Each structure stands twice: as C-alpha cells, then as structure tokens.
Amino acid sequence: MGSLEDYLAGFGQAPLSPEIINAQDACGQTALAWAVEYGWPEATEVLLNYGASACRPGQSLRGEMPLLNLAIVCPVLNGSDRDLVDVVKLLLEVGAKPNSVDHEGWTALHVAASWNNAAVIKELVRFAGDALTWDALTEDGQTAQALSLGAEFDKQVQDLFRNQGASHVEVGFSVSESDEILDSVDVQC
C-alpha cells in the first residue's frame, strides 16, 4: 500500500486542479478537512502541497466551519497537542485566516480559548500579531477570554489575554478587579 503522496502523484504533478484536490465526499468534506479534523500533520502538509485550499470551510453538524477552527477543536479529542499545533501552523502558513468566523461567530481564538490551549493561542499571536481580534464577540456575545474563564481557569492562557491588553469588561470585571481575581487563584501545575 502506497502513501498519500504516492496516491496523489497518480493524478499528476502538484498542484492538482482544484476540482480534484478539493473534491468533497458524501459528507461534504474534503480530504484536507478530514486530515485537519483528525490532527494529521503529515497528511495535511501533503494535501496542502498538492494545492488543497486552507480557506475552504469544512462542514460541521450545524454549518460551515473554517478549517482552522476545525483543526483546533477536533484534535483535542483525537490527537496530540503537538500534532494540533503543527496542523494549525501549516494552515496559517498557507493562508488560513485567524479571524474567520464559523456559523456561531467563533474565531480560532474563541475555539483555542474555550479549550484553554495556550500553545495554539501563542501560534495565533505569532502568526497574526496585532491583526488578531482579541475582543471579537460570538453570536451569543462572548469573547475568547470569557470562554476561557468559563472552561476552567488556566493561568498561562489568562496571562496571554492580560499581556495582549484584552478588555476585561466583557467578563464583568474592571481591569483591577480582574487582575486581582487572576492573581488570587491558586493554580496547581
């Protein structure tokens, strides 16, 4: 049995035509969406090298979802943290937009914050810099920081928000009150 790259080479040289590399299956998913969903960095890289689009949304049960969001949430359930960060890096490097929103108004930062994934948030910051929208609201009015606090306290994630000057108003506290709460929480590592 050959590799994914061997299989794709059978269709011709990279990049393949969009009709081939971005073909959807019966579920409406592309091969790249499946590779991203399962947190497979090697398959993701091969598919991207063959011209798969990192900007084409994947499908979820409720609607379209940017592949970057899919990459962040699904490998938490399916793969390793290292694979997750590698897939996120690959998508960002080929043009995935960190501020794209899904069917519920969530950006990649919202998803990463809701899982308290500091490694992914750092990668989003490294890639997007000042263009990362820290105060974007989901359709139900939540910021990424509020989602992070609702998921469970994570000092490393909260330090990232604090260092980026994220507004503390959205979680119902003034800056000084929020800093006091963040500093008073006993975190065990």
In the structure, what pLDDT confidence band is assigned to residue 3 with cuts at 50, 70 and 90?
very high
Q: Where do the structural domains in the chain lie, given as residue ranges?
A: 4-166
Q: Is pLDDT above 60 for 176?
A: no
- Enter the pTM of the model: 0.81
In the structure, what pLDDT confidence band is assigned to residue 1 with cuts at 50, 70 and 90?
low
Residue 101 near residue 63, CB atoms below 8 Å: no
Runs of H (alpha helix) within the chain: 4-9, 18-21, 31-37, 41-49, 67-78, 81-93, 108-114, 118-128, 144-151, 155-163, 175-184
Q: How confident is the model at residue 44, as a pLDDT?
A: 97
Each residue's pLDDT tens digit, 74-113: 755 665 778 899 999 999 999 999 999 999 999 999 999 9
Residue 119 near residue 81, CB atoms below 8 Å: yes
What is the CATH code of the structural domain delimited by 4-166?
A: 1.25.40.20
